Amino acid sequence: MKAEKNPSFQADALSHKLGAFLDVGSQEKTMLELLQGPQSFIGAGKEVVYEGQNNHAAYVLRKGWVCSYKRLRDGGRQIVDIQIPGDFLGLSSLLLRTSDQGFISLTEIELAKINTNRLQEVLQTTPRLAAALLWAVSRDQAIVVEHLVNIGRRDTMARTAHFLLELHARLSLVGLGTVDGYHCPLPQSVLADALGVTAIHLNRVLRQLREDNLVIFRDSAITFLDRERLARFAGFDLTYLDHKASLTD
Amino acid sequence: MKAEKNPSFQADALSHKLGAFLDVGSQEKTMLELLQGPQSFIGAGKEVVYEGQNNHAAYVLRKGWVCSYKRLRDGGRQIVDIQIPGDFLGLSSLLLRTSDQGFISLTEIELAKINTNRLQEVLQTTPRLAAALLWAVSRDQAIVVEHLVNIGRRDTMARTAHFLLELHARLSLVGLGTVDGYHCPLPQSVLADALGVTAIHLNRVLRQLREDNLVIFRDSAITFLDRERLARFAGFDLTYLDHKASLTD
DNA sequence: CGCGCTCTTGACTAGGGTCAAGTGCAGTGG
DNA sequence: CCACTGCACTTGACCCTAGTCAAGAGCGCG
């Protein structure tokens, strides 16, 4: 089940993710492949879609990490969400002419452009797959909402813990997590921009989490020392990631 | 154009809102009416949909104010968004079996249940109207994202100003705003829960905004004293409310 | 009249931001 | 092989924003 033992696994993260919602048959798997147009490989730190871009495309992230963000007048930025393999980029804002968020690659990435015509076909002809795709979009929204709650109501320590636990759950769903941790290529400055705090303060909070024997973030790796206790401390309840869709039965 | 001069106006807030995106023809207006099932009238402070409710319905809010929120373990709550006449309730999470947010009425309200079967019909047979509905859903998402940015990156004073300006823009779109203000039935405690601060601190910040001759919140009414300056101060840029959809032309 | 609710204000505390200095390390060039 | 540079991370000292605790004011309602 480890990603490095099965190279095709990561590239197929999307179908694996959807598999959490329904069994993806081989025909549906083919449809899913057809949805995805030409691949592109992009280095780290590149703007994939910029804020205000017109008629931007939507993509499936096949490898690597991306974040979506909004810039502020004063030069700061707020990271809205982190995208990991199997996630969509810009799908939900496809209907708006201009993207209100920017997307930037955090590592080297592999993207597949979504063929919008085929997408409409799929939505009309393959109801099960359509439901699965809409489920994924709804889940992305729930993630943003939980992020809002996280920033609005938890102090930095619980907030950080919650965020790291969420990433673990999401990565595990696409086979990129281990029992007690995961590879996390984010620099502290990016994590800070996601959590709405300064990098300096985040650094202190990470030290506190480490000294409390809860979680260690070192050498681009998250290691949970006591995930149960951490989840209790953070008030982490993963039902928002776990929703079953209402059309299943 | 004033709401009080045209009583039918408010009840038709949705079609008016969609009118900002495309001209709603009379046939489309009829479809829109057919979408909406039986009305219900509910008093203030009632739970319309509770957190974790299964197989909840979706509604159009025709009159009054509602908020969507999530509760935390410790008893606190974070208000995710405020709904005003013409807004949907629970539409985007219709595909998830359980609602991850609760909805509570903030005033007396009038709801129309959305007929889900008819909705699917509309989506397939009336593409222009379908696009308009999806536009509205995308816009709601953009509002939540901007809320996230607001809480993550602005101090309470700018945050409050931004939130009040957003409400003004949204209310104006459905004919419920005046040039320099609007009726705002929110108690300070609710506003505080939306902004992620304590009611006490919000109270002080509102005083500051008043003393700086920017905006007055008194007797359930918002009055802007200098909207230009306030918008500059808050970094308010309403493009996220104003998006045109990409399928218009 | 008294109860409860919202709003207001004061005094104190603590969480988080700002400024500043310093460490460790990978990459580059002498 | 060893400076030199740049970047991410670390730590300390200080200050300010926002939370906590507490008390009181204004007002609608039974």
**Tell me: the pLDDT tens digits for A204-242?**
999 999 999 999 999 999 999 999 999 999 999 999 997
User: Tens digits of per-residue pLDDT, B204-216?
Assistant: 999 999 999 999 9
Does the nearest atom of strand C lie within 7 Å of A197's Cβ?
A: yes
Contact A70 B245 (CB under 8 A): no
Q: What is the pLDDT of residue A245?
A: 62
Residues in chain B within 8 Å Cβ distance of A72: 149, 153-154, 235
Strand-pair partners of B126? none
pLDDT score recorded for residue B248: 46
Q: What single-letter amino acid sits at B61?
A: L
HEC-encoded secondary structure of chain B: CCHHHCHHHHHCHHHHHHCCCCCCCHHHHHHHHHHEEEEEEECCCCEEECCCCECCCCEEEEECCEEEEEECCCCCEEEEEEECCCCEECCCCCCECECCCEEEECCCEEEEEECHHHHHHHHHHCHHHHHHHHHHHHHHHHHHHHHHHHHHHCCHHHHHHHHHHHHHHHHHHCCCEECCEEECCCCHHHHHHHHCCCHHHHHHHHHHHHHCCCEEEECCEEEECCHHHHHHHHCCCCHHHHCCECCCC
- In angstroms, how far is C18 C1' from A223 CA? 31
Query: pLDDT at residue A1 above 70?
Result: no
pLDDT of residue A247: 53
Q: Is residue A249 part of a domain?
A: no
Residue B199 lies in a domain: yes
Residue B65 in any domain: the answer is yes
Give the percent of chain A with pLDDT over 90: 70
Residue A169: enclosing H or E segment and its boundaries?
helix A156-173
Tell me whether residue B248 is in a domain: no
Total of domains in chain B: 1
Q: Is residue B247 domain-resident?
A: no
Nearest to A156 by CA among A219, A208, A106: A208
Taking a C-beta distance cutoff of 8 angstroms, is the pair B245, A97 a contact?
yes
pLDDT single digits (tens) A161-213: 999 999 999 999 999 999 999 999 999 999 999 999 999 999 999 999 999 99
CA angle B49, B52, B53 (to 5 degrees): 45
Residue B31 has pLDDT above 60, yes or no: yes
Q: Which of B76, B80, B245 lies closest to A145 in CB terms?
A: B80
pLDDT at B246: 58
> Could you tell me the residue range of the domain that residue A167 belongs to?
3-242
pLDDT single digits (tens) B143-184: 999 999 999 999 999 999 999 999 999 999 999 999 999 999
pLDDT tens column, B86-137:
999 999 888 787 888 999 999 999 999 999 999 988 888 888 898 899 899 9
Q: How confident is the model over A13-36, as pLDDT tens digits?
A: 999 899 888 887 888 888 999 999
Backbone φ and ψ of A241, nearest 5°:
-95, -10
Q: What is the nearest CA distance from B41 to chain A, expressed in angstroms?
A: 27
Q: What is the pTM of this model?
A: 0.93
A230 within some domain = yes
Task: Examine the pLDDT at B1 and tell me if it is beyond 50.
Answer: no
Rounded Cα–Cα distance for residues B166 and B146 (Å): 10
pLDDT at B29: 87
Whole-number pLDDT of residue A125: 87
A247 in a domain, yes or no?
A: no
A101 vs B contacts (CB less than 8 Å): 145
- B8 Cβ under 8 Å from any chain A Cβ: no
Burial class (CB in 10 A: 0-12, 13-18, 19+), A26: exposed
How many Å does it take to go from CA A205 to C1' D9? Answer: 13
Q: Return the percentage of chain A with pLDDT > 70, whole number.
A: 93
pLDDT tens, residue by residue, B220-244: 999 999 999 999 999 999 999 976 7
SS3 A143: helix
pLDDT of B95:
78
Q: What is the mean pLDDT of chain A?
A: 90
**pLDDT (average), residues A101-128:** 92
Residue B180 forms part of a structural domain: yes
What CATH number does the domain containing B163 carry?
A: 2.60.120.10
Is the per-residue pLDDT at A37 higher than 70?
yes
A11: pLDDT confidence band, cut at 50, 70 and 90?
low
Interface contact flag, A151 B151, Cβ < 8 Å: yes
